[in-house]
Structure 1
Amino acid sequence: MLSAIFMSLAIGSGVYLLTLDKTPSRQTLIDKFTVGLCGILGATLGAKLPFALWDWPGLLDGTTWFSNGKTIMLGLVGGYFGVEFAKWMLEIKEKTGDRYAVPVAVSVSIGRLSCFFGGCCYGTPTDLPWGVIFHDGILRHPTQIYESIFHATMAILLAIFRHYGWFRLQLFKIYLLCYFVYRFISEFIRPEPKVFLSLTAYQWACVFFTLLFLYLYWHDEQLKNGSLSSAKREALSS
């Protein structure tokens, strides 16, 4: 019951915060709807994809898409590329990530509380006084709470960054890059199987996506600085 309540709050809070954003935009209402829909579809597919690939019968008959398994990390990545795909399809050039960063971070922070009350995504056994017993009678790291705190902290930092114009047009990438680092570290206290060099599949995914989004960050910075240089040249010649 509590899990469902917090999941509803997670979705509702994200949508509500998006409605509060009054950033001027050249997008039409249809454009915004399409971009949002593609973001949701991308997040859903990304979150379910690893489980679908491990369950070929369920993938073929469609049941795996309606099971409980999902991963936040690939959900965030899928949502990012879903939005980028919609913008490419609609030929939208303006950057949209900054307006999504805080709402998504708040939504995921609350969503992790849903995981906590649902008894999933917990950590390894611990003797620490805040260890929590879930289904097996063993005190474990409440990694859902740790991650909820991380995303809440990121929401505050991202709001400050946006207020002061820091990392302008790059906030969502900053959010994802910080999450990849956090998730890589937190995997050491999660009961995930080690697949190679004593690292989990999620840790290897963190390494890959960190490199990818560092490149995307660098690429966008080059474009931004290039356009600023062109604008300066035009101003000087006028």
Structure 2
Amino acid sequence: MKGPVLSAATAQWVHLVFEWLALAGGVQLYRWQRRRAHQPALLQPGSFAVVAGCILGAAIGNKLVFWIEMPHLWQGIVPDWRLIASGQSIVGGLLGGLIGVEIAKKLTGIRRSTGDQFILPLVAGTVVGRIGCFLAGLNDGTHGVSTQLPWGVDFGDGIPRHPTQVYDMLFVLFAGALLWRWRAPLARSPGLAFKLYLASYLAWRLVVDGIKPVPYAYAFGLSGIQWVCIVALACYLPLVFTQLRREVA
């Protein structure tokens, strides 16, 4: 199957457009959910702090995890702002956003869970963003390794590859649909739905990144993102299981 073949410059712009569409769409969905629940507008002090913490944390985590994934890009060059600003990671954005929200809540004294309303924006944003990744093809670096499966995609180098961008879209749609179906029982335990979404996505990325090229191998041949997922799951799963036990009890 032939995939899109764009020049590096065109791919960069296409990817950037879809990134902004994903961000703008996610914000609008978040606002729509708050209006539907008759909650305060985003410019209210507490609400604004949570959103600002999410965006700032996601931006920092986005870049940090990318550089954990690609440390070799620093070798033999003089770093400048363009290099520092390049690249992003959904895993880093999710974890950074989570940390940013928790810090904002701590500073403003908010105790209620705020994560569940981020699920729909995250699903939509991931799907839109991954469309941009798919269109960017080999220039984006999110494609999979070679495969003989009938749906392998040739992004222009003559090698059919796993369309891992599409796999990612399908996974978040599936996870989001399950959580939507279970929304009534999950609503009894605020924050549980988000914890399940984040934990499932981290586990998914740990697995699916095993069929992606490894730009820089860490211990056991795993990529930086895979190790970030392992550490994050080790820290986060106890919180998920604790809340699940409380709900079951």
1:15-94 alignment, distance < 5 Å: 15-21=27-33, 22-23=36-37, 25=39, 29-52=44-67, 54=71, 55=74, 57-58=78-79, 61-67=80-86, 69-94=87-112
Q: Look up the SS of the partner of 1:11 in the other structure.
A: helix
Counterpart position of 2:7: none
Deviations 1:135-163 (Å, cap 9, x if unpaired)? 53321111001001111222222222224
Q: Which amino acid aligns with 2:90?
A: I
Contact 2:40–2:47 (8 Å) recurs in 1: no
Larger of the two Rg values belongs to structure: 1
Matches within 5 A, 1:181-220: 181-192=203-214, 193-218=216-241
- Over 3 Å counting, the alpha-carbon distance change for 1:128 and 1:221 in structure 2 is closer
| Matches of 1:187 and 1:147, distance apart in 2 | 10
Distance 1:180 1:52 in 2: 18
Counterpart of 1:234? none
Match of 2:22 among 5, 10, 22: 10
**Normalised TM-score (structure 2):** 0.78
Alignment root-mean-square deviation, CA: 2.6
Cα pair 1:102 1:158 within 8 Å, conserved: no
Gaps of 5+ in 2: 1-12
1:180-224 superposed Cα distances (whole Å, 9 cap, x missing partner): 1111111221001432223333222222111111123245568x7
Following superposition, the deviation at residue 126 of structure 1 comes to 1.1
Identity of aligned residues (%): 33
How many angstroms apart in 2 are the aligned matches of 1:92 and 1:220? Answer: 19
Q: What do the CA deviations read for 1:75-126 (whole angstroms, capped 9, x no partner)? A: 1111111111110111111110111112112211221111111222100011
| Partner Cα distance (2:65, 2:233) in 1 | 18
Distance of 1:219 and 1:86 partners within structure 2: 23
Map Cα deviations across residues 10-55 of structure 1 (whole Å, 9 max, x no partner): 2232122112213355797122112111101111111101344633
Tell me the secondary structure at the aligned position of residue 145 of structure 2: coil
**In 2, Cα distance between the equivalents of 1:137 and 1:211?**
39
Q: 1:158 aligns with which of 179, 190, 193?
A: 179
Moved more, 194-203 or 138-147: 194-203
The alpha-carbon distance between structure 1 residues 164 and 13, as it changes in their structure 2 partners (threshold 3 A), is farther
Given the alignment of the two structures, is residue 180 of structure 1 paired with residue 202 of structure 2, yes or no? yes
Q: Is the 8 A contact 2:65 2:91 kept in 1?
A: no
Distance in 2 (CA, whole Å) between partners of 1:24 and 1:170 is 21
> How has the CA–CA distance of structure 1 residues 90 and 64 changed in structure 2, closer, same or farther, with 3 Å as cutoff?
farther
Q: Which amino acid aligns with 2:81?
A: G
Q: Which residue matches 2:146?
A: 125
Paired residues in the alignment total: 222
Q: Report SS of the residue matched to 2:169.
A: helix
CA displacement at 1:5 relative to structure 2: 4.3
Per the alignment, do residues 188 and 41 of structure 1 end up closer, same or farther by CA in structure 2, a change over 3 Å counting?
same
The 1:14–1:51 alpha-carbon spacing in structure 2 relative to 1, beyond 3 Å, is: closer
Q: Answer yes or no: is the 8 Å Cα contact 2:130–2:166 preserved in 1.
A: yes
Report if the CA contact (8 A) 1:162-1:168 is conserved. no
Deviation at 1:2, TM superposition (A): 4.6
Consecutive unaligned residues in structure 1, runs of 5 or more: 230-238
User: Helix, strand or coil for the counterpart of 1:12?
Assistant: helix
